[in-house]
Structure 1
Amino acid sequence: MSFQVTVQPSGHQFTCDEGETILTAAIRAGVGLPYGCKNGACSSCKGKLVEGSVTHGPHQERALSAQDESLGFSLFCCARPNSDVIIEAREVAGIGDFPVKKMPVRVAKLDKVADDVIILSLQLPANDRLQYKAGQYVEFMLRDGKRRSYSMANAPHKDEHLTLHIRHMPGGLFTDQVFSTLKERDILRFEGPLGTFFLREDSDKPIVLLASGTGFAPIKAIVEQLEHAQSARPVTLYWGGRRPQDLYMDELCKTWAQSLPNFKYVPVISNAQPEDHWSGRTGFVHQAVIDDQPDLSGYQVYACGAPIVVESAQRDFVAKCGLPEDEFYADSFTSAADLATVQ
């Protein structure tokens, strides 16, 4: 049995098989519903259920509360239709431009750039090319059907290899492997490109880029894409970490600030210690944006990092700074620990 899903206001329709989530069916059909984690841990795919009924699988309360559901909202990554449905969602143009592929990749290099961060460089097959948009991610296919997601840290035109920034999560199925047994020439498999977090190039609005920790990876790709396009849009990058060493490519950001026109870099540290001798900005990284840019009504914001950072930024930028809700683009870096709290 299958059900028909109709998306408003576009009128796009696609078929959802029994037991399949609306998001999975939309991706298969090339319909650009917004999404992030695909696991019920963020709220990127939340939309309105206009007609019909669905059953929601496990998800975090913060992504879809009982009150949200009572008001007719749905989390499409874990919503399985019980009938034909009509949904309301802001579709993402261009999401179907490039095919989603499964492919083997060879480890070309592992560079440890901080105690808990490795830059993983991957060699793609010689006869295959991964087309993607700056900001998107891939999913590694691991044993027992498990998957782990990482954003591409270089723009599509940049570098010979595909690069990813991997932060060590002790006990993590994939990161323990990366930091202990993975070596050059090992073969991994992934699927991609995925995600609706990418640079919107059809606008001339000034941009605020907000990153925490390794959320810098897709932000780096976006900066490289802007540079490649010779964009004249004003860009300010705010990168936050607990300690200065968390800003593991600080020198690159300073180089951008010196070489790229209309580009500013603001590093922000939340937990500097006396031995760090930190004299720069302190506190929460999204608060630094509010202090500097009290009026965001004419901006686009791209935010990536820990869920608490992304959620706080979205809430406060819209409520306090007048940022249009549809000009906030985000990717929450949900870890396996985050997903463990999905209910």
Structure 2
Amino acid sequence: MTSAESVFQITVQPSGRAFSANAGEAILAAAIRSGVGLPYGCKDGACGSCKCKKISGTVQHGAHQSKALSADEEAAGLVLTCCAQPLSDVVLESRQVTDESAYPIKKMPVRVASLEKKSHDVMQVRLQLPAADTFRYHAGQYIEFILRDGARRAYSMANAPHTQAEAPGVELHIRHMPGGKFTDHVFGAMKEKEILRVEGPFGSFFLREDSDKPIVLLASGTGFAPIKALIEHLQFKGISRPTVLYWGGRRPGDLYLDDWVQARVAELPWLRYVPVISNALPEDGWTGRTGFVHQAVLDDFADLSGHQVYACGAPIVVESARDAYSAQRGLPPEEFFADAFTSEADKHGG
């Protein structure tokens, strides 16, 4: 057997889950193919959500960003499963493995059902799914648009799965990135009834229901989309774990569903809400919390050792939170769940 035809065994500790990966195949792709739920976010070497420790074996990394995996981290045995290809059998350590909860990933056509501008640069897009197709996902997961040139754009579902019973389809929150061909289209030429192709669900960002720990939800910008789905899911399931949402934006208008959150807080005694603004102008009349949203959590919690944190948004926010909450507030790393929203600029930057 030539090396090009080699198949390697990948084992994940401490769960003992094992699966095979082909030579030249990323470990994460092999895990998804095998139904083994390793943590991941962008699948593109940009966010670091899939980082885990290699206990034994040899891998080679494809292109990735140093902010996702530094040379020092790689030398210390850390790997990015989304772009690490095995050169031998490999044993990894990952404490966030899920398996029973993987839903089938499918490609399907969708129709734009509605477009509603929620702020100057956020569009709420509702997609109608094929009538004959059951699309199952976890609150917090995402889908990818498959563009005509084969490029992909990932967006989280902002509605929990149970909401499809009364309003079939999925809700997305799309931020306009001027010059980005897809979001320029969404904010310019996209019309209701347009047909698009999507694939999903993807992502390991969903509620761990086997825990009763209190929850910190951390969102920046449209990172609120999957957080909204989590809140809907908590409410639907009757889960009343003490939960506090920190939502950050540059200006108050960036908290584009603030009224929705306020309404949930009024009806859910277990939910608190801390909006945080970093660049308010005098004319905004902002009297609430200011600064960086991940810092507000540090200011409010002396100890996070008994909590779970679900963080979503800009990679700098997610990574700052991941590092600080573990190092300074005792949060166990395996209790930090994240989905970093990487733009095309994030993926191809330095």
TM bracket, shorter-chain basis: over 0.9
Provide the TM-score with structure 2 as the length reference.
0.95
Which residue does the alignment assign to 2:81? 76
Alignment of 1:4-83 (within 5 A): 4-83=9-88
Would you say the 8 A contact 1:31–1:96 is kept in 2? no
Question: 1:158-196, CA deviations, whole angstroms, 9 ceiling, x for partnerless residues?
Answer: 133200000000111211111111110111111111000
Is residue 151 of structure 1 aligned with residue 159 of structure 2? no
Alignment of 1:130-209 (within 5 A): 130-158=135-163, 159-209=167-217
| Secondary structure of 2:162's aligned partner | coil
Q: 2:325 aligns with which of 302, 317, 341?
A: 317
Cα RMSD over matched residues? Answer: 1.2
Q: Which runs of 5+ in 2 are unaligned?
A: none
| Secondary structure of 1:44's aligned partner | coil
Moved more, 307-316 or 243-252: 307-316
Question: 1:18-72, CA deviations, whole angstroms, 9 ceiling, x for partnerless residues?
Answer: 2110100110000111111100001111112222211100101011111111111
Is residue 301 of structure 1 aligned with residue 277 of structure 2? no
Runs of 4 or more consecutive aligned structure 1 residues displaced over 6 Å after TM superposition:
none
Between the aligned partners of 2:254 and 2:96, the Cα distance in structure 1 is 35
Is residue 248 of structure 1 aligned with residue 256 of structure 2? yes
Alignment of 1:109-120 (within 5 A): 109-120=114-125
Between the aligned partners of 1:319 and 1:246, the Cα distance in structure 2 is 30
Question: 1:77-119, CA deviations, whole angstroms, 9 ceiling, x for partnerless residues?
Answer: 0011122222222242246531111111100000011110000
Would you say the 8 A contact 2:38–2:98 is kept in 1? no
Moved more, 218-227 or 250-259: 250-259
Provide the TM-score with structure 1 as the length reference.
0.97
Q: Which runs of 5+ in 1 are unaligned?
A: none
Would you say the 8 A contact 2:36–2:99 is kept in 1? no
Which residue does the alignment assign to 1:218? 226
Which residue does the alignment assign to 1:93? 98
Question: 1:185-223, CA deviations, whole angstroms, 9 ceiling, x for partnerless residues?
Answer: 111111111000001111111111110000000000000
Q: Which amino acid aligns with 1:257?
A: V
How many residues are treated as equivalent by the alignment? 342
Between the aligned partners of 1:183 and 1:51, the Cα distance in structure 2 is 52
C-alpha deviation, 1:312, in angstroms: 1.0
Would you say the 8 A contact 2:145–2:196 is kept in 1? yes
Would you say the 8 A contact 1:54–1:80 is kept in 2? yes
